Amino acid sequence: MYKNVGRNLFLHPPQSQPVSGIVFLSTTDLRGMVDFYTARVGASVWLDQGGCVILKHGNMLFGFCRGEEADTAGVITFFHGTREEVEAAHKALEQEAEHAPRENPEYRIYHFYARDPEGRRLEVQSFLHPLPGFFDGEELLHNRRSIRRFQPRKVDDETLEKIFSTCRYAPSSRNRQPCTLVVVRSPEKLELLGGLRGENSAPIARAPMAVGVVSDPGLSKRHVQDGCIMAYHLMLAAAYHGLGTCWIAAMDRSEAKQALGVPLDHYIATVTPVGYPAETPAVPDRRDTMVAGC
């Protein structure tokens, strides 16, 4: 499938949405609640308004305000991406936990309950099935990983359309929008593309599909840069929707162009495997990239 991600692909581009809301709870111990949720639950202070403090946990915003009584009704649920993260949260809240983490087959979650110092019931869980996009921007940038092994589950066309719609907004030189996304599902082509660079390109053959990011030098003098920007836009959009990708370099070669059905003068920034991850790579150490000003 040859997908033009230029200005005419979608008749109804997504509209900007306002940020989500905030749930405020009354507390008789404002600083105690802030200390508990930051030190023990892993939240951070998003905004300190004096009498009210807004906390952030992933893309969830919730606040505590000084009051004469504490709001303790309901359940505050925090969810993580993996069972391992739930178990780590249980270790941090072991004294407050009501039970060890366990599966709930009815709701397909792995979870446990705990209580905060004012008696509010907390739930910490992970879902045991794929989810729609939920990362906020910071989480997305921190948590995207290169995935090299995939589940056999097919990626549906609706999810792909959402990803490609987001890719339409990738910047390009002079807004020439020279990039095309080529969807590859044929097992024979996946095997061929996966064998072009040995183990370096092998993840393509392990995925249920791949996407080639192609740019047209006839539309942009900066087609190489435009293609690379588009490729990373694609990878971030895929991660937002729960999919794994992996940058496969040095795919700008005639065999790949023939397999993708693109002109030989076009540039292939990457052919990335795309699929639901069958692995969760650890976060590698990061070097300090800050340099002194000049």
What are the extents of the domains in the chain? 23-127, 134-275
pLDDT at 261 over 50: yes
Q: Which DSSP state fits 175? A: G
pLDDT at position 1 is: 40
Of 280, 94, 149, 227, the closest CA to residue 235 belongs to 227
pLDDT at position 115 is: 97
Q: Which DSSP state fits 81? A: S
User: pLDDT tens digits, residue range 192-237?
Assistant: 999 999 999 999 999 999 999 999 999 999 999 999 999 999 999 9
Quickly state the pLDDT bin for 100 (edges 50, 70, 90). Answer: very high
Buried/exposed 227-249: b ≥16 CB within 10 Å, e otherwise: bbbbbbbbbbbbbbbbbbbbebe
Structure-block tokens of residue 81? 């991406």
pLDDT at position 33 is: 97
Mean pLDDT of 276-287: 84
Mean pLDDT of 4-20: 44
Neighbours of 138 (CB within 10 A): 11
Query: How much of the chain, in percent, has pLDDT values that exceed 90?
Result: 79
pLDDT at 12 over 60: no
pLDDT at 262 over 80: yes
Q: Which residue has the higher pLDDT, 4 or 249?
A: 249
pLDDT at 4 over 60: no
pLDDT at 3 over 90: no
Residue type, 76: I
Angle at 154 between CA 129 and CA 144, to 5 degrees: 60
pLDDT at position 283 is: 79
Lowest-confidence pick of 36-50, 61-75, 107-121, 272-286? 272-286
Residue type, 14: P
Quickly state the pLDDT bin for 8 (edges 50, 70, 90). Answer: very low
Mean pLDDT of 11-30: 72
pLDDT at 123 over 60: yes
In angstroms, the CA 243 to CA 134 distance is 12
134-275: which CATH topology? NADH Oxidase (3.40.109)
pLDDT at 137 over 90: no
- CATH no. for 23-127: 3.10.180.10
pLDDT, averaged across the chain? 90
Quickly state the pLDDT bin for 13 (edges 50, 70, 90). Answer: very low
